[in-house]
Structures are given as structure tokens and as C-alpha cells.
């Protein structure tokens, strides 16, 4: 969770406190070295208010289990990404990632272990990504990765990295963890988010069918 709200509101509070203190010193002979009881109290109140703002913002954008972005954030942010892509005539790759046999994992090892698997996958998806890349939990055991300025070659590299890291996680957790990844590319495959998502979804289910 970021500290944007707390930093902003406490900064404003401190600036106002200094202004009030100087005003009191020059116009009301307030002792310059007097302990700022009122200022400190107000600063703590403002800090608490800023913390509540940061919490609300975090919950509106992030998934509580994985700490990844949620569906709402992706939908709100995607048009801005497309505008940036269009300005530079670039490409964008969208990845829909579904955990294979997740129900089996839950039924065999329990939901607590299932949650740990989701958290591990979230961590490896979010690790070495570009700052502009969005990684989100899309549904229960589905993740979405949106990589601006990434073509098919770049997408293949990302997919290879994900599978490599998952093999390591499988060995560490002693659980067979794998995913099926469907991709689509803007603007070649589709022009809208929903169309890109549908194409990636179809490609992902094709992979699942081949695995069976």
C-alpha cells in the first residue's frame, strides 16, 4: 500500500502549522519555543485521515489476497495504455493465465495451500516486469498480464520465464503447479480490450484442450 495520501495530507498540515505558528509569533507574541501540542495533535489526526484514504484507494485497486491489481483497475487503466501505444505506433500483448487443475490442488492440499499457490504465482508474475506492465488477478485462479510495447517475440520470452519460474516453485512447494497462457496482440489481433480478452481466452482454452 502506497503512502500517497498520508504524505500529502501531513505535508499540508505541517505547512499550515508553520504558517499559523509564524502568524502567532509576529502578531500575538506567541513564544517561539513553545511546544506545539496542538500542531502535533492535528498532525496525528491528519496522518490517520491520510491512512484511511490510502487504505480505500488500495482496496479499490488491489486484490487483497495477492496484492496484485484487480479487474476494476485494469479496465480503468487500459484506455490510457492504448493511447500511449497509438502515439508511438507500438504493440501491446495481453496474457490470460489460468492455473491448471487448481480445484485438484484445493481438494488435495486444502484451500490454505491453494491460497499460497496463488500468492506464489502472483509473486513470480510481478517480479521482473517493466514498470508499465500491469499484472492483475482477473478471477479466482485466473491472472491477466498486460505488457505495453511488447510484440510476439517479447511475449514468448515472458511465457518462457513464467514456465521456468513455475517449475522452480513446483519443486520448492512439492506441488505440481502449471498454467495455461493465452495471448493476443494489439493492434494486430483486435482493437478493443474485450476483443483482445476474448481472443486470449480462446487461445488459452485451446492450450488446455491440447494438454488433455
Secondary structure (DSSP) of 11-72: HHHHHHHHHHHHHHHHHH---TT---HHHHHHHHHHHHHHHHHHHHHHHHHB-TTT-SB-HH
Asked, as a colleague might, if the bond just before 187 is cis with ω within 30 of 0, I would say yes
Active-site entry in 141, 176, 195, 201: 141
CA dihedral 75, 183, 145, 107 (to 10 degrees): 100
Residues 6+ apart with CB under 8 A from 160: none
Question: Is there a contact between 21 and 36 (Cβ–Cβ < 8 Å)?
Answer: yes
Q: Has 195 been annotated as catalytic? A: no
Cell of 5: 495520501
Give the catalytic positions in this structure: 141
Amino acid at each position: 500500500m502506497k503512502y500517497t495520501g498520508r504524505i500529502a495530507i501531513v505535508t499540508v498540515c505541517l505547512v499550515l502549522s508553520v504558517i499559523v505558528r509564524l502568524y502567532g509569533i509576529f502578531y500575538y507574541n506567541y513564544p517561539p519555543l513553545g511546544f506545539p501540542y496542538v500542531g502535533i495533535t492535528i498532525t496525528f489526526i491528519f496522518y490517520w485521515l491520510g491512512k484511511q484514504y490510502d487504505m480505500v484507494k488500495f482496496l479499490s485497486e488491489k486484490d487483497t489476497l495477492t496484492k496484485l491489481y484487480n479487474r476494476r483497475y485494469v479496465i480503468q487503466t487500459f484506455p490510457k495504455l492504448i493511447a500511449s501505444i497509438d502515439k508511438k505506433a507500438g504493440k501491446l500483448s495481453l496474457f490470460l493465465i489460468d492455473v491448471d487443475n487448481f480445484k485438484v490442488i484445493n481438494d488435495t492440499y486444502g484451500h490454505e495451500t491453494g491460497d499460497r499457490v496463488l500468492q506464489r504465482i502472483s509473486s513470480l508474475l510481478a517480479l521482473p516486469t517493466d514498470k508499465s506492465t500491469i499484472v492483475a488477478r482477473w478471477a479466482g485462479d485466473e491472472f491477466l498480464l498486460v505488457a505495453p510495447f511488447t510484440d510476439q517475440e517479447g511475449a514468448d520470452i515472458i511465457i518462457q520465464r513464467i514456465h521456468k519460474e513455475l517449475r522452480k516453485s513446483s519443486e520448492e512447494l512439492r506441488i505440481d503447479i502449471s498454467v495455461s497462457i493465452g495471448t493476443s496482440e494489439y493492434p494486430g489481433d483486435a482493437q478493443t480490450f474485450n476483443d483482445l480478452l476474448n481472443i486470449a481466452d480462446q487461445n488459452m482454452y485451446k492450450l488446455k484442450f491440447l494438454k488433455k
